[in-house]
Each structure stands twice: as structure tokens, then as C-alpha cells.
Amino acid sequence: MSTDPFTTAPVTRRTALAGACTVCAVAVTGCATGQASQDDGRPVRVPRAGIDIGGAAVFPEHRIVVTQPSDGVYRVFSAVCTHQGCAVTDLDDDVVKCPCHGSKFRLADGSVVKGPARRPLPERTVTVEGNILTIT
């Protein structure tokens, strides 16, 4: 047996697969927990243009969903699924969907339409300043 610290055993298919699974598990865990914990509390400013009455927009860089249920009334919800922390990104009629496990939330109030999520999307405070929405 060699004492050279740079000598390695051959990589087998099993070793390579185990290593790949470990890397994937760490990446997925980091993404799921990181998305939910990256809110630093600073106000976010987004344009209100493009958010139609009865419509919504997802701002993934800020992890928020902005809706306008009626003229001039805006509601903002976290875009982090309450099931396992994936980003909800897919708008479909009056719901936003989580691509990870299929949970659906109502755009009007953030409530759960379809699980596995059991809790609604948390609502954020929004103020309108001209053409800008400030979310805290």
C-alpha cells in the first residue's frame, strides 16, 4: 500500500453516484432553506406597471408575488412555498403554483387551494407611492 498522499483509489460507478447524490442533496437543502431565510427586512421597491386588475406578477429576485385584486388595491405575498421553501413562480388564472410539489395558492388572499402546503403564503405590507410599490 502506498503512503503517497496523492494516490487515490479508482473511482467506481457506485462511488461516483454516491458523490453525485451527496452534492445534489446538499444543493437542494441549501436552496430550500436559503430561500426562506434570505429576507433581510429592508423595504423592496417594484414598479406597479404591468400588474393588471385581477392579475399578478412574481418578482423572484425579491421572493414576492404582487397582486391587484381591484383597481388601485395591491396585496403582496411571500413567494416562498410554506411546504418546503421552494419558490412559487407559476401564475395560472387566479392561483400561483409551486413547481416542486404542486401546491397552489389563491392570488386574492394567499390561501392554500391545493396541498401539500397547509399554511397560506405570508402577506407583506405594501404602500403605493406614485408608480412604485414599497413592500416591507
Neighbours of 118 (CB within 10 A): 9
* Angstrom distances, CA of residue 127 to CA of 11, 43, 61, 66: 58, 10, 19, 12
CB 33 within 8 A of CB 89: no
- 123-124 and 73-78 strand pairing: antiparallel
The number of angstroms, rounded, from the C-alpha of 106 to the middle of its chain's C-alpha atoms is: 15
What is this structure's pTM? 0.69
Q: Which fold has domain 44-135?
A: Rieske Iron-sulfur Protein (2.102.10)
What DSSP state is assigned to residue 80? B
Strand order in the sheet with 123-124: 56-59, 64-70, 73-78, 123-124
d(CA 70, CA 56): 11
The model's pLDDT over 50-106, given as tens digits with 9 standing for 90+, comes to 899 999 999 999 999 999 999 999 999 999 999 989 999 889 888 999 999 999 999
Q: Give tens-digit pLDDT for 16-61.
A: 444 444 444 434 434 443 333 345 678 999 998 889 999 999 999 9
Domain borders along the chain are: 44-135
